[in-house]
């Protein structure tokens, strides 16, 4: 399973969340793109007390058999996304791009997965 497949599979399990891997709203579990991928890859939610970003990345790499680190590989932001950085940089760490699209970019987890698929992830 690649990362985009894991995000899509996990997205089918719970509604979308933002800013936390796993959260609750109105008694309902919600997951962000990485929380969805983590659950699809491990069969478990990221613990409610949270988890270090590096550990989530290492777990995804190990469980999905990724040959890259989400914290090291650089990917572009989608062309239709306006980058709000002072330097206007269009490329960033995969982890940061996905988190930004999920939390403030207005992208659904399915749209993020589709975008990653166009990049081969």
Which segments of 32-93 does DSSP mark as H helices, in order?
33-42, 53-64
Tally of helices (H runs) and strands (E runs) in the chain: 5, 4
Q: What is the pLDDT along the chain (121 residues), one digit of tens a residue?
A: 999 999 999 999 999 999 999 998 889 999 999 999 999 999 999 987 778 899 999 999 999 999 999 999 999 999 888 776 555 668 999 999 999 999 999 999 999 999 999 999 9
Contact 119, 10 (CB under 8 A): no
Helix (H) or strand (E) segment spanning residue 22: strand 22-25
**76 Cβ contact partners less than 8 Å away, ≥ 6 residues apart:** 90, 91, 97, 119
Give me Rg for the CA atoms of the chain: 13
Distance of alpha carbon 1 from its chain centroid, rounded? Answer: 15
Q: Give the global pTM.
A: 0.92
Q: How far apart are CA 80 and CA 57, in angstroms?
A: 26
Backbone angles phi, psi at 108, to 5 degrees: -80, 165
């Amino acid at each position: 399973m690649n990362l985009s497949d894991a995000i899509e599979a996990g997205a089918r399990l719970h509604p979308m969340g933002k800013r936390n891997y796993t959260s609750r709203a109105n008694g309902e579990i919600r997951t962000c793109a990485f929380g969805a991928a983590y659950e699809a890859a491990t069969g478990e939610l990221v613990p409610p007390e949270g988890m270090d970003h590096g550990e989530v990345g290492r777990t995804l790499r190990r469980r999905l058999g990724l040959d890259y680190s989400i914290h090291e590989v650089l990917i572009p932001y989608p062309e239709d996304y306006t980058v709000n950085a002072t330097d206007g940089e269009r490329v960033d760490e995969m982890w940061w791009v996905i988190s930004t699209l999920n939390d403030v970019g207005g992208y659904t987890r399915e749209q993020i997965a589709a975008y990653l698929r166009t990049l081969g992830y």
